[in-house]
Amino acid sequence: MYDTQAPPPEHALLIGLERPGYDRWAIEDSLEELRELAESAGATVLDSVTQRRDTPSAPTFVGTGKAAEIAAQCAATGANTVIFDDDLTPAQGRNLMDIFGKDVKVIDRTELILDIFAQRARTREGKLQVELAQLEYMLPRLTGLWTHLSRQRGGMGCRGPGETQLEVDRRRVQEKIKRLQDQLEEVRKNRRIERSGRSKLHWPSVSIIGYTNSGKSTLMNKLTNAGVLAEDKLFATLDPTTRKFRLPNNQNILLSDTVGFLRKLPHHLVESFKATLEETAEADLLLHVVDVSHPQAHEQIKAVGVVLEEIECVGKPTIVALNKIDRLGDDQSILEKFQREFPHSVPISARHGTNLDQLQDEIGNQLRARRVDVTLSIPADKAPTIALVYRSGYVTAREHDGAQVILRAQIPKVLAGELKPYVVEEE
Ligand SMILES: Nc1nc2c(ncn2[C@@H]2O[C@H](COP(=O)(O)OP(=O)(O)OP(=O)(O)O)[C@@H](O)[C@H]2O)c(=O)[nH]1
Ligand SMILES: [Mg+2]
């Protein structure tokens, strides 16, 4: 059925600044990423417009002449949305709305990303986090909106009622923010309980991280058949998925796939997704998936580093998976360069399953120090303890000696410590 309430389809113009020496991303690549983001959000991109200047213009981001040109281009092409590759200040947003008119929506990079996240969030925690980030982003702009309205209505004399309404609205939003924070705290408490249940097993946790669209979910699915949505879309994954997984060397691990990173990831979003990202921060090992076929692969690696710093997660043991090697063709020089740069990296194709054995071996190597071979002698009536050894480790032999059960097993070092009274031999 045709829904007359549906908003009109978004036909967008993209606007970027070319700032010499500001950023190593070429403007074309930056706008290409913005185009992918816009299309991931469901918009049709008509054209992109760039302006070369050292700093954004304080009132209108681009120069006023350029802004007028963009307005004319909207009218000529039927564009109803203008998307800026950087964040706009509340004042810039307001002024640009004045110039473009009420039929044209002005969106900045943060709003676009928040919109995609809002579309993708599935779990309660995900939805709460996105809503919180959206409200926090809106709060200072709410002020702007009201000042704007009172100015339109004649300025000084009208400020009174506008301010009052503004205060009411601000308070409402702040209360909503507080409520969301409380609800999130509740969800997180439950999650911490879940996690501490898992950690009793002492299985090392490995987090798959990387730039968005690098192939994290594809790798997760290839390894564990997790059935995670993998798509040629930015931010296909939002909510974390964790699976138990046994490496070929019989080491059990918990493997997690989570939200991708992005350059200029909005600060509010990182803040409100901290809990999701905590999963990453608490991992024993990071598996950093890099799309080596991407022209900006190096810059993407750097952007991942920036987010890792923001979530206080630097210096963790990391394996770099150089993904999508099937797209490199015959020229191996790119790959060799990456391999020189990252000594413990493993070239793979997650899509074709190439070299995944080697990747799993490398994961096993990195985690080896966490395991020991032991012989345990446990009273047969201590069934829960025996079960724990089976669940947490890998039992290679079992014998009975009177009322004792003798187990030979590879178990986590921490568990060997806890089972000290039963350990009769340790290698
Ligand atoms: N050619 C090729 N494509 C791949 C490979 N791995 C993943 N892809 C494709 O890359 C796209 C993104 O893959 P995903 O697994 O969804 O990427 P992701 O890192 O989980 O992305 P987000 O969840 O959006 O952050 C999909 O179209 C995959 O099919 C690979 O090894 N080779
Ligand atoms: Mg994914």
Neighbours of 332 (CB within 10 A): 12
- pLDDT tier for residue 289 given thresholds of 50, 70 and 90: very high
Segment 270-287 shows an average pLDDT of: 79
Provide the pLDDT for residue 193: 75
Percentage above 70 pLDDT, the chain = 91
Q: How much distance in Å is there from the Cα of 181 to the middle of ligand 1?
A: 33
Atom of ligand 1 nearest to the CA of 234: 24
Joined tokens for residue 229:
């949505």
Q: How much distance in Å is there from the Cα of 156 to the middle of ligand 1?
A: 55
Atom of ligand 1 nearest to the CA of 220: 15
Q: How much distance in Å is there from the Cα of 231 to the middle of ligand 2?
A: 7
Ligand 1, residues at Cβ distance < 6 Å: 210, 212-218, 230-237, 260, 323-324, 326-327, 349-351
Atom of ligand 1 nearest to the CA of 257: 20
Question: From CA 261, how far away is CA 273, in angstroms rounded?
Answer: 11
- pLDDT tier for residue 277 given thresholds of 50, 70 and 90: confident
- Residues near ion ligand 2 (CB < 5 Å) are 216-217, 236-237
Atom of ligand 1 nearest to the CA of 260: 25
Tens of pLDDT, residue by residue over 220-256, are: 999 998 777 777 777 777 777 888 888 988 888 989 8
Q: How much distance in Å is there from the Cα of 229 to the middle of ligand 1?
A: 10
Provide the pLDDT for residue 290: 97
Contact 137, 266 (CB under 8 A): yes
Residue among 36, 120, 213 whose CB has most ligand 1 atoms within 8 A, to mutate: 213
- pLDDT tier for residue 154 given thresholds of 50, 70 and 90: very low
Segment 333-339 shows an average pLDDT of: 93
Provide the pLDDT for residue 116: 87
Provide the pLDDT for residue 200: 66
Cα angle for residues 399, 404, 408 (degrees, 5° grid)? 40
What is the overall mean pLDDT for the chain?
Answer: 86
What is the layout of strands, in order, in the sheet containing 11-18?
A: 44-52, 11-18, 81-84, 105-108
Start-to-end CA distance of the chain, whole Å, equals 69
Ligand lying nearest the CA atom of residue 347 = 1
Q: How much distance in Å is there from the Cα of 237 to the middle of ligand 2?
A: 4
Of 42, 40, 44, 57, residue with least CA distance to 14: 44
Instruction: Tell the residue nearest (CA) to atom 27 of ligand 1.
Output: 232
Provide the pLDDT for residue 155: 43
Q: How much distance in Å is there from the Cα of 207 to the middle of ligand 1?
A: 16
pLDDT over 60 at 1, yes or no: no
Residue among 37, 119, 218, 328 whose CB has most ligand 1 atoms within 8 A, to mutate: 218
Percentage above 90 pLDDT, the chain = 44
Provide the pLDDT for residue 24: 60
Residue with the larger pLDDT of the pair 156 and 94: 94
Match 């760039």 to its residue by tokens.
50
Ligand lying nearest the CA atom of residue 117 = 1
pLDDT over 70 at 419, yes or no: yes
Atom of ligand 1 nearest to the CA of 261: 25
User: What does DSSP assign to residue 54?
Assistant: S
Ligand lying nearest the CA atom of residue 214 = 1
Atom of ligand 1 nearest to the CA of 212: 25
- pLDDT tier for residue 145 given thresholds of 50, 70 and 90: low
Q: Which residues, at least 6 apart from 388, have a Cβ–Cβ distance to it below 8 Å?
A: 415
Q: How much distance in Å is there from the Cα of 123 to the middle of ligand 1?
A: 22
Segment 15-25 shows an average pLDDT of: 77
Of 136, 125, 106, 118, residue with least CA distance to 40: 118
Range 86-91 contact pairs with CB under 8 angstroms and sequence separation of 24 or more: 86/16, 86/17, 86/56, 86/61, 86/264, 87/266, 88/61, 89/58, 90/140, 90/141, 90/143, 90/144, 91/58, 91/59, 91/144
